């Protein structure tokens, strides 16, 4: 397949549907001690033995800090409408209250280069790289960090204003709070139920505090927030309760306060002893109107109750899985988008802000034949089309990721990129999936002339 086949009469073929690629700062930039940047919690976490596969770190990553010009050219050559990136908080505010002009200038040249090539720019303010100096004061367990986030959002949006086309406050607060402060799998590596829920509330409070600041400083830009979601399916009818609870814990806990102004009762009742202190007015702040919701989808969860009444994820060995063991289940994306649309009366437009697969990629004679990823993208684009036909408003799709990069606790073992990166030489090679994406976008552009 040398291009993705978009269904006939599909909204995906329309010129207003946004196609893009996505990255995040710590995963690609490197240059961790350059340009005035100070350490983030991920720099610290990577130094702890056994926390990251192979002892990997983001010190160099894809060296985007130095190679950004060729990378933006590469993105432009794909023919995408938009580039989704994140800004590194410790590059902008290397010390509490100290603004770093070099950091702002670094991102300004990237934004300008994107605009010069006709691409819109989607910027995430927080993709998990909290400054270490804030973690030293408690990080997201400290309510003050929510206010520090709003100050950081103010610095960025006052500088860039509407030059940033679309702002995202947080990327995947589920991962930042629960993997970082509940289960200890990600930085900063804290373990505790109460800590996980406390961090999550402060993250969502930070989002809410930032929204009016962003609107004031960038009145013509769009503003929203991005959530990860792995929809749950009961193994048997007796496990429906397990699936409902899994959905509440996995994504409704984060989306409900934004779109409903409340946390889901399933969680607040079951986890009553671990609930954070929610001050009067917090939920009003968090539920500030948003222009869009981003949804990151990779796979689903099939769940059941075990003999102790605990919820367990049940592997589905009869179905196809990616190289890292994630089930390929495009129907889950359709189901998720429809479920969300039904759950929230005030659902704003949705972007699928991340979607992709890690496959077993090798570069042979300058070619990477990633056939499974091609099928993954094809079937998930079809799944989005089905959701649109079912009445869900979806305005765009971003492939994760532009290129292979630092995949957090998995280091460099997992390759999610459309573009293959040789980490020794930093050479970039378009995989067959990237060529198919480019060809599809070229064909769509011809149609819309």
Give strand ranges (E) for 277-344.
Answer: 292-296, 301-305, 311-313
SS3 126: strand
Q: Is 183 labelled a binding residue?
A: no
- Taking Cα atoms as reference points, which of 393, 391, 372 lies closest to residue 330? 372
Mark whether 354 is an active-site residue: yes
For the chain, the residue count is 449
Question: Cα 157 to the chain's mean position, in Å?
Answer: 20
Catalytic residue selected from 135, 172, 327, 382 = 172
Could you tell me which residues come within 8 angstroms of residue 284 by beta carbon, excluding any fewer than 6 positions away? 261
- Taking Cα atoms as reference points, which of 172, 164, 202 lies closest to residue 82? 164
Please answer whether residues 376 and 357 qualify as being in contact, where contact means their C-beta atoms are separated by less than 8 angstroms.
Answer: yes
Q: What number of helices (H) and strands (E) belong to the chain?
A: 17, 13
Question: Cα 44 to the chain's mean position, in Å?
Answer: 21
Taking residue 102's Cβ as centre, other Cβ atoms within 10 Å add up to 13
As a whole number of Å, the end-to-end CA separation of the chain is 24
Spatial distance between the Cα atoms of 391 and 209, rounded to a whole number of angstroms? 32
Q: Is 414 labelled a binding residue?
A: no
Structure tokens at 235: 């193994």
User: Cα dihedral sign for 408, 360, 74, 299?
Assistant: negative
Q: Is 310 labelled a binding residue?
A: no
Catalytic residue selected from 135, 195, 327, 354 = 354
Q: Is 424 labelled a binding residue?
A: no
DSSP state of 251: I
Please answer whether residues 311 and 303 qualify as being in contact, where contact means their C-beta atoms are separated by less than 8 angstroms.
Answer: yes
Using only the alpha carbons of the chain, give its radius of gyration.
21
- Taking Cα atoms as reference points, which of 409, 386, 278 lies closest to residue 331? 386
Q: Is 27 labelled a binding residue?
A: yes
The CA angle 28-32-38, to the nearest 5 degrees, is 130
Q: Where are the alpha helices (H) located in 326-396, listed in sequence order?
A: 331-343, 371-389
Q: Is 371 labelled a binding residue?
A: no
Q: b/e per residue, 397-417, with b = 16+ CB within 10 A?
A: bbbbbbbbbbbbbebbebbbb
Please answer whether residues 269 and 294 qualify as being in contact, where contact means their C-beta atoms are separated by less than 8 angstroms.
Answer: no
Q: Is 447 labelled a binding residue?
A: no
Spatial distance between the Cα atoms of 259 and 282, rounded to a whole number of angstroms? 14
Spatial distance between the Cα atoms of 220 and 209, rounded to a whole number of angstroms? 19
Which residues are documented as binding site for substrate?
27, 127, 171, 298, 400, 407-408
Catalytic residues: 172, 354
């Amino acid at each position: 397949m040398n291009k993705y086949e978009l269904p006939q009469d599909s909204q995906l073929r329309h010129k207003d549907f946004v196609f893009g690629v996505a990255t995040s700062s710590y995963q690609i930039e490197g240059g961790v001690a350059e340009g005035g940047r100070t350490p983030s919690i991920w720099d610290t976490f990577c130094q702890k033995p056994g926390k990251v596969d192979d002892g990997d770190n983001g010190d160099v990553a894809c060296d985007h800090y130095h190679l950004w010009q060729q990378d933006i050219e590469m993105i432009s050559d794909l023919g995408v409408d938009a580039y989704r990136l994140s800004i590194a908080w410790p590059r902008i505010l290397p010390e509490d209250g100290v603004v770093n002009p070099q950091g702002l200038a670094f991102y300004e040249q990237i934004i300008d280069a994107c605009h010069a090539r006709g691409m819109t720019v989607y910027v995430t303010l927080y993709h998990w790289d909290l400054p270490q100096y804030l973690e030293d004061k408690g990080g997201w367990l400290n309510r003050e960090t929510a206010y520090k986030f709003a100050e950081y959002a103010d610095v960025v949006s006052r500088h860039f204003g509407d030059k940033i086309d679309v702002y995202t406050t947080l990327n995947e607060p589920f991962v930042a709070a629960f993997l970082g402060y509940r289960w200890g799998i990600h930085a900063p590596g804290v373990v505790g139920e109460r800590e996980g829920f406390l961090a999550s509330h402060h993250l969502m409070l930070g989002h809410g505090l930032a929204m009016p600041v962003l609107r004031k400083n960038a009145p013509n830009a769009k503003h929203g927030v991005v959530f990860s979601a792995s929809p749950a399916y009961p193994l048997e009818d007796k496990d429906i309760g397990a699936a409902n609870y899994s959905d509440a814990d996995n994504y409704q806990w984060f989306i409900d306060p934004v779109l409903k102004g409340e946390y889901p009762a399933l969680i607040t009742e079951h986890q009553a002893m671990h609930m954070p202190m929610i001050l009067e007015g917090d939920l009003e702040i968090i539920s500030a109107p948003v222009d869009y919701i981003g949804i990151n989808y990779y796979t689903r969860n099939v769940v059941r109750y075990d003999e102790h009444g605990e919820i367990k994820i049940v592997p589905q060995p009869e179905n196809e899985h990616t190289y890292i063991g994630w089930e390929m289940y495009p129907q889950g994306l359709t189901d998720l988008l429809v479920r969300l649309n039904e759950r929230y009366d005030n659902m704003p437009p949705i972007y699928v802000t991340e979607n992709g697969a890690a496959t077993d990629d090798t570069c042979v004679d300058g070619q990477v034949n990633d056939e499974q990823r091609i099928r993954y993208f094809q079937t998930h684009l079809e799944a989005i089309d089905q959701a649109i036909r079912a009445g869900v408003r979806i305005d765009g799709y971003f492939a994760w990721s532009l290129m292979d990069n630092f995949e957090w606790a998995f280091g460099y073992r997992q390759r999610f990129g459309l573009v293959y990166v040789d980490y020794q030489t930093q050479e970039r090679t378009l995989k067959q999936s990237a060529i198919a994406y480019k060809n599809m976008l070229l064909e769509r552009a011809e149609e819309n002339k």
